[in-house]
Amino acid sequence: MVVGPVLIVGAGVFGLSTALELVKKGHFVYVLDKHPPPSPWSAACDFNKIIRCEYADPIYAEMAIEALHFWRSDPLFKQSYDECGRLLVTPKEHRGRIEFERKGIEVLKTLGEGNRFCFFSGGAEISRLIPGFENNSIPPEQEVKYNPDCGLGRSHQTLKDVYKYLSSHPNVQFIFGEKGAAVGLKRYRSGEVGVITESGFVHSAGTVILSLGANTAKIVNLENQQSATGLFVTHIQLSDEEYTKYRDIPVLFDAEMGYFFPPDLTTKIMKICLTGCGIKRSVTDPFDSRKQISLPRFHIENPSDTFPKELVQDIQRLLEKYVPELKEHRLFGSKICWIGDTKDTHFLIDKVPYYKNLYVATGDSGHGYKFFPNIGKYIVQKLDGVLANKIEELWKWTPRTNEECEDPANSKWRVSKGKSKDITEIDFITEVEVPKL
């Protein structure tokens, strides 16, 4: 059972969602973070994220369907959700990705969903049916799927909306700055822990939850269960005319090349990402000087971490294939989005076995944001000891101390471009502009 009050460390998706669920149940909650939401340390501090329900695992599919209901109907979430659909272009050679997509649609159909998928071969029908992609060059033999029952979440806005709601709630207190920035744990004789902050102040509570995403392993020894992976994000600025042309396109996801979103309705900025090129940042393990782990290096402290020079041409190829008139646009506002990868891409939500009152809620593995409306429910179920066994088994604490740090390039469903590089191997482009969220 939850022993209150509850201290949540990290005001990102998992942390805020948990706070929402706890206050519904009448608990008092303290939330710590260095920055107010949208915290630049959060992976969700971004223009948008994909919201989809296709999962090869029925457990995640059911959770995603449940979450989609809230995105569509809950006043707190629906204002930052856009059901624009998603165009999914399948790689011709990568069997793991092909099987992942096939299984995901099959699972959806067994759950009574996914009945509006459209299937195409090549880009001719796409040119005719979806405005904005008239000039695409998808080869005739490439499989294309369109799912209208999904879309995007304006992730920075969701963080702001949930924070605004919680900050006005009498049972929630946020603590930011040096007094909210966690730097370590203090173990008491009772076996309980307090959270040490930059200011030197130690916060204590009956229940402590670490939800620091990719940075969680800096505060607690995760025993090699999570590795920080950096994903490259960049943007282009559209003109008024271009915005009008592309504002109603679906999310375009080419698993082999990359993906991009409809332009932001306020700034007319289009976000673009590459697939299969995640990086790591190898540092000495804070809990074992003999080992190396990957931890993030955030853009707010390292603004020169922008976009790799060698991958600019990959962005141009992606745009040339789908929206060729945009391929020469200058990239700006580039950054690395740090996610907490686990070996099997399952979340890590469990009690830390070496402490009496400490839990972790992390391991987003790049697919956590879509569960913003409901992941907190499952985290609190874990605290209360009522989480379904099948879910508990997926998310349980499983030390991997005798294994090498997992390379995300080994994932069966990600289309990898080879072994992941370290951030020290990247030659970044120089930028001066930062997009305003």
Give the per-residue pLDDT at 32. 99
Closest CA to 277 of 235, 234, 244: 234
Distance between start and end Cα atoms, the chain: 39
188 pLDDT higher than 80: yes
Question: Which pLDDT band holds residue 97 (cuts at 50, 70, 90)?
Answer: confident
Give the per-residue pLDDT at 93. 80
Give the per-residue pLDDT at 409. 53
pLDDT digits (tens, 9 = 90+) for 278-300: 999 999 999 999 999 999 999 99
404 pLDDT higher than 80: no
Q: Across residues 156-178, what is the average pLDDT?
A: 99
- Work out the number of other CB atoms within 10 angstroms of the CB of residue 155: 26
Q: Where are the domains of the chain?
A: 6-429
Least reliable range by pLDDT among 286-290, 378-382, 398-402: 398-402
> What residues are paired with 208 via a beta bridge?
7, 358
Mean pLDDT over each residue of the chain, to the nearest integer: 95
Question: Which pLDDT band holds residue 433 (cuts at 50, 70, 90)?
Answer: confident
Residue with tokens 């991997």: 400
Question: Yes or no: is domain 6-429 CATH 3.40.190.170?
Answer: no
225 pLDDT higher than 90: yes
Q: Give the CA distances from residue 232 to residues 125, 235, 414, in Å, rounded to whole numbers and listed in that order.
A: 31, 11, 15
Between CA 290 and CA 91 the distance in angstroms is 40
Q: Give yes or no for a cis peptide into 262 (omega within 30° of 0).
A: no
